[in-house]
């Protein structure tokens, strides 16, 4: 399908509001926290999705997706390819619906993310190290067992669910000037940009991705999604090698810019968030604040950093943040 055809299927504000209604009483409405001492001329707010169920924003999309499945589809069980956070979210949503869940995770998955999925009752299958490895194995299991695939990001229902983050930002801060959001496969960034731009057209929405995984940067330069030969970063939740096609159409319509951040800056941001705000952020979750600290993004007016998650085990946190 061409990008122009995909653009006609963009998620609407009504889709995001429907997702919010489905999530009411199930997802946590995360607060906006004022971060002092960041910029004298602006107010910087943090949207801490590590306080969300399963420790990341992914629960929003996963629960919304399962809520719209037919009873027959749920009865067959669901499967999700994931580096970690989507897997835990699908496992939690499946548990709430009484559904069996299988998750396909990389062989390099962090102990915290694997343990989280298993604790929530999911069957864990390990497959390779790339997004493609996980997706290929998930597709095989769909064919073998008749499971229902829960896409990680390239799906309108997933985008609408993640877009509730942006909806909450505009409700809590109607005059928001800038929203900074992480970019992995593109579900969160597409949904947040859509909600924010449709409700506050004057606001800037900036995406941030790791320097070692610039899939959206490359896509915007080429005016189409492109496949990276490889990706590498501490931000394991943002290592997709290609932006989703539907996600990219939303980015082209609503995202003002995308910037990249190096790994060293992620560690500095994690340390600041822990020391000053008492927030535990995984590298992927800290990337938006890192963009502010490095000057990759300049705060203007009321600026919101979406902190996408905090799923990192104690040993990993200690090893990253200990003085060198």
Angstrom distance (rounded) from CA 209 to CA 262: 9
Active site residue 189: no
Which residues share a beta bridge with 103? 80, 124
Asked if 280 and 310 count as a contact pair (C-beta separation under 8 A), the reply is yes
> Distances in Å between the alpha carbon of 45 and those of 11, 28, 262, 266, 305?
26, 18, 22, 18, 6
Contacts of residue 322, defined as CB under 8 A and 6 or more positions apart, other chains included, come to none
Angstrom distance (rounded) from CA 258 to CA 207: 4
Active site residue 12: no
Which residues share a beta bridge with 48? 307
CB atoms within 10 A of CB 41: 8
Angstrom distance (rounded) from CA 277 to CA 30: 15
123-126/78-81 β-pairing = unpaired
DSSP conformational letter for 100: -
Closest CA to 126 of 111, 144, 147, 145: 111
Angstrom distance (rounded) from CA 135 to CA 271: 33
Catalytic residue of the set 83, 232, 308, 322: 308
Q: Tell me the CA end-to-end span of the chain in Å, nearest whole number.
A: 50
Catalytic residue of the set 47, 58, 113, 197: 58
Residues serving a catalytic function are: 58, 308
């Amino acid at each position: 399908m061409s990008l122009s055809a995909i653009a006609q299927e963009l998620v609407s504000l009504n889709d995001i509001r429907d997702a919010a209604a489905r999530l009411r009483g199930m997802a946590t409405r995360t607060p906006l926290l004022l971060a002092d001492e960041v910029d004298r001329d602006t107010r910087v707010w943090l949207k801490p999705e590590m306080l969300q169920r399963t420790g990341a924003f992914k629960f929003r999309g996963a629960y919304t997706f399962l809520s719209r499945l037919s009873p027959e589809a749920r009865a067959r069980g669901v499967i999700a390819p994931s580096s970690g956070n989507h897997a835990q979210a699908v496992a939690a949503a499946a548990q709430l619906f009484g559904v069996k869940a299988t998750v396909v995770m990389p062989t390099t998955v962090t102990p915290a993310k694997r343990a989280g999925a298993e604790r929530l009752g999911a069957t864990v299958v390990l497959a390779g190290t790339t997004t493609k490895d996980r997706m290929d194995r998930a597709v095989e299991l769909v064919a073998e067992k008749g499971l229902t695939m829960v896409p990680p990001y390239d799906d309108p229902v997933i985008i609408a669910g993640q877009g509730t983050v942006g909806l909450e930002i505009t409700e809590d801060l109607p005059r928001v000037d800038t929203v900074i959001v992480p970019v992995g496969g593109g579900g969160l960034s597409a949904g947040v940009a859509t909600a924010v731009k449709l409700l506050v057209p004057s606001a800037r929405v900036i995406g941030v991705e790791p320097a070692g995984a610039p899939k959206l940067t490359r896509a915007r330069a080429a005016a189409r999604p492109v496949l990276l030969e490889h990706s590498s970063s501490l931000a394991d939740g943002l290592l997709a090698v290609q932006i989703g096609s539907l996600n990219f159409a939303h980015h082209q319509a609503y995202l003002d810019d995308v910037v990249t951040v190096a790994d060293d800056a992620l560690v500095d941001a994690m340390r600041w968030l822990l020391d000053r705000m008492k927030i535990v952020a995984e590298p992927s979750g800290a990337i938006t604040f890192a963009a502010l600290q490095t000057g990759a993004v300049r705060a203007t007016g009321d600026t919101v950093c979406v902190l996408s998650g905090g799923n990192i085990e104690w040993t990993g946190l200690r090893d990253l943040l200990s003085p060198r």
